[in-house]
Amino acid sequence: MSKIRGKNSKPELLLRKALWAKHIRFRIHRKDLPGNPDLVIDKYQLAIFVDGDFWHGYEWKARKPKTNQHFWIPKIERNMQRDQFANQQLTEMGYTVMRFWEHQIRKNLQACINQVMLYLEAARLGRIPVKD
C-alpha cells in the first residue's frame, strides 16, 4: 500500500506533460478546493481529476474484489461517494469537473487532451462563462 501513489501517478504525469506541451497552464493538487483536484485551470474554472481504475471503482459492479471483501468494498464505495460529493461541491462553486480514468489516459491520451482543448476553446469564444 505504501507504494500506491495518490499524487503524481504515471497517468497524471502523462496528462500534465501533454497539456503543458500544448501551452495550457494549470495548478496541481489544490488543497483549498473540494476533492483536491489533480489539475486546476482557474481562469476557465476547470477542475480535472485522474482516477485510478481500481481505487475509484471503474466498472464497479463487474469488477468488485473477490478477496478481503469486507475491507475493499466499503473502502472503494466510500471513494466513489467522496468523488460524487467533490463533483457536487465544485459544480456549486462554478467549476466544470472533468474526470479521466487511468486507462483512458494510457490508451487514448489524445482524446483526453482534445476534450480539455474543446472546453477551453469554447470558454475562450464565450460559449462558457469564465472567471475574469
- Cβ pair 29, 36 in contact under 8 A: yes
Domain membership of residue 129 (yes or no) is: no
- How many CB atoms lie under 10 A from the CB of residue 80? 14
Task: Calculate helix-pair angle for 109-124, 10-21, nearest 10 degrees.
Answer: 50
In the predicted model, what is the mean pLDDT of the chain? Answer: 90
For residue 125, the number of C-alpha atoms closer than 13 Å in the C-beta half-sphere is 7
Contacts for 87 with CB less than 8 Å, ≥ 6 apart? 35, 97, 99
Domain membership of residue 132 (yes or no) is: no
pLDDT band with cut points at 50, 70 and 90 for residue 2: low
Domain membership of residue 50 (yes or no) is: yes
Task: Kindly report the CATH number assigned to the domain that includes residue 79.
Answer: 3.40.960.10
For residue 121, the number of C-alpha atoms closer than 13 Å in the C-beta half-sphere is 7
**pLDDT tens-place string over residues 20-36:** 999 999 999 999 999 99
**pLDDT tens-place string over residues 62-115:** 878 888 888 988 998 999 999 999 999 999 999 999 999 999 999 999 999 999
Q: Can you give the residue range of the structural domain that contains 73?
A: 10-122
Domain membership of residue 117 (yes or no) is: yes
R_g (Cα) of the chain, nearest Å = 16
Domain count, the chain: 1
Query: What pLDDT does residue 33 have?
Result: 95
Residue matched to cell numbers 471483501: 69
Please check the confidence at residue 55 and state whether its pLDDT lies above 90.
no
- Asked whether the CA dihedral 18, 117, 112, 26 is positive or negative, the reply is positive
Domain membership of residue 127 (yes or no) is: no
What are the phi and psi torsion angles at 108 (to 5°)? -145, 65
